[in-house]
Amino acid sequence: MGFFQKLKDGLTKTRDSISKSFANVFKASEIDDDFYDSLEETLVMSDMGYETTEKVISDLRIKVKDQKIKEAAACKELLINSLRDQMTVADNAYDFEDKKSVILVIGVNGVGKTTSIGKLAAQYKNRGKKVLIAAGDTFRAAAIDQLKTWANRANVDIIAQGEGSDPSAVVYDAVNAAKARNTDILLIDTAGRLHNKKNLMDELAKMRRIISKEYPEANVESLIVLDGTTGQNALEQARQFSTVTDIDGIIITKLDGTAKGGIAIAIQAELSVPVKYIGIGEKIDDLQRFDPSQYVTALFSDFDMKSDMEMLIDADIEEIPKDDDLFDL
Ligand SMILES: Nc1nc2c(ncn2[C@@H]2O[C@H](COP(=O)(O)OP(=O)(O)OP(=O)(O)O)[C@@H](O)[C@H]2O)c(=O)[nH]1
Ligand SMILES: [Mg+2]
């Protein structure tokens, strides 16, 4: 299955909820304040974020006026394009993939850090990179075992110590192994932490210090993982973490499990840190680079069809005449 299809399938819940409410919005007979209000409500409901929604609506108002558009249905395309315009991607966002890099994966509990590391390791490995994983979450033995399982699946090496060992010691071992083995990409798993837990944030800072001291030539890429099903909370988490630590990119997971996939658009549009990958399932190949334009296309891909159907129903056509009926006439 192609990736676009997979993305579309993953976003089914969001697509279903969006297309129903959008169909209703665009059934409006004219473009007035009521139309804009219900459009605004629909965008906010799908978690596109208040800021993004405001920008999209004001952009749309200008275009509708300039292009003298009179019918609601005619500005669907304008809306989709305007959403796309809210999200810019720097073309150096993935340069780290082709450098000697240490990727530090952080975030709160249960968001999908370990799983995303497994998926990324497999991708890099398939592209011919020499990959190493470090088990920097030493809180629970189960966490180390889970990462070992992923290392096996991805067919990459792992550096781990026992439960309760110092994460910084694991990082020390791992960067030295990466140097000695001429590794391209070292992925470091970390324990879930909240941005306001001082000791845990200090521990993270210590890991970073060890990386830059032991392996100064490596490029450090710090990725925060956010659970897409938590909607606006995810956006808030990224904001808060970025006040206490450097973040180079975002991974949004579980977009297959939510009807509010608009959150990916809000995060990309409202934060200065780019969304780099999205998770759309639990399997090894269910993670991909985030392509905002493709994402918007996938979200609205059956928008037209549904709204046309609704329009038919609305036009009060009870039954489409069959050939026989026509003959009888
Ligand atoms: N549906 C779905 N589930 C996911 C996705 N990514 C991760 N998960 C699931 O989310 C759960 C938590 O994932 P983990 O990778 O263990 O999360 P974590 O951040 O490492 O958790 P802790 O180490 O406990 O903080 C697992 O059941 C994963 O299978 C995704 O993109 N889609
Ligand atoms: Mg984990």
The residues facing 104 across adjacent strands are 188, 222
Shortest-distance atom of ligand 1 to CA 115: 15
In 174-297, which ranges are E strands? 185-190, 219-227, 249-253, 275-279, 287-289
In CATH terms, is domain 3-89+297-314 a member of 3.30.2290.10? no
Tens of pLDDT, residue by residue over 53-71, are 999 999 999 999 999 998 8
Q: Are 99 and 122 in contact (CB under 8 A)?
A: no
Residue 89 scores a pLDDT above 80: no
Tell the CATH superfamily of the 95-290 domain: P-loop containing nucleotide triphosphate hydrolases (3.40.50.300)
Q: Is 73 helix (H, G, I), strand (E, B) or coil?
A: helix
| C-alpha of residue 107 to centroid of ligand 2, in Å | 9
Q: Are 44 and 50 in contact (CB under 8 A)?
A: yes
The conformational region for residue 14 under phi > 0 = left, psi -120 to 50 = alpha, else beta, is alpha
Ligand 1 site, residue 118, Cβ cutoff 6 A? no
- Give the least confident one: 20-29, 155-164, 195-204: 20-29
Residue 209 scores a pLDDT above 80: yes
Fold match, 3-89+297-314 / 95-290 = no
CA distances (Å), origin 124, targets 97, 100, 241: 8, 12, 26
- Give the least confident one: 17-21, 213-217, 286-290, 318-322: 318-322
**Highest mean pLDDT out of 30-39, 144-153, 300-309:** 144-153
CA distances (Å), origin 315, targets 31, 68, 182: 19, 25, 67
Q: Are 111 and 215 in contact (CB under 8 A)?
A: no
Going by pLDDT thresholds of 50, 70 and 90, the confidence category of residue 318 is very low
Ligand 1 site, residue 115, Cβ cutoff 6 A? yes
Ligand 1 site, residue 137, Cβ cutoff 6 A? yes
Question: What CA–CA distance (Å, rounded) separates 316 from 302?
Answer: 22
Ligand 1 site, residue 192, Cβ cutoff 6 A? yes
Nearest alpha carbon, ligand 1 atom 26: 112
Question: Token pair 């497999």 is at which residue?
Answer: 122
> What would the mean pLDDT of 290-303 be, rounded to a whole number?
86
Ligand 1 site, residue 114, Cβ cutoff 6 A? yes
Residue 292 DSSP one-character state:
H
Residues bordering ligand 2, an ion, CB closer than 5 Å: 113-114
Q: Look up the pTM and report it.
A: 0.90
The angle formed by the CA atoms of residues 25, 27 and 29, to the nearest 5 degrees, is 110
Tens of pLDDT, residue by residue over 217-234, are 999 999 999 999 999 999
The residues facing 279 across adjacent strands are 287
Ligand 1 site, residue 20, Cβ cutoff 6 A? no
Ligand 1 site, residue 230, Cβ cutoff 6 A? no
Going by pLDDT thresholds of 50, 70 and 90, the confidence category of residue 201 is very high
Question: What CA–CA distance (Å, rounded) separates 263 from 167?
Answer: 32
Nearest alpha carbon, ligand 1 atom 24: 110
Q: Among residues of the chain, what percentage have pLDDT more than 90? A: 71
Ligand 1 site, residue 281, Cβ cutoff 6 A? yes
Q: Is 187 helix (H, G, I), strand (E, B) or coil?
A: strand
Phi, psi of 29 (to 5 degrees): -80, -25
pLDDT in the model for residue 86: 85
State the average pLDDT for the chain: 90
Where do the structural domains in the chain lie, given as residue ranges? Answer: 3-89+297-314, 95-290
- Give the least confident one: 88-92, 133-137, 269-273, 314-318: 314-318
Mutating to test ligand 1, I would choose from 193, 253, 255, 284 the residue with most ligand atoms within 8 A of its C-beta, which is 253
> What would the mean pLDDT of 243-261 be, rounded to a whole number?
94
Phi, psi of 70 (to 5 degrees): -110, -30
Mutating to test ligand 1, I would choose from 7, 115, 190, 227 the residue with most ligand atoms within 8 A of its C-beta, which is 115
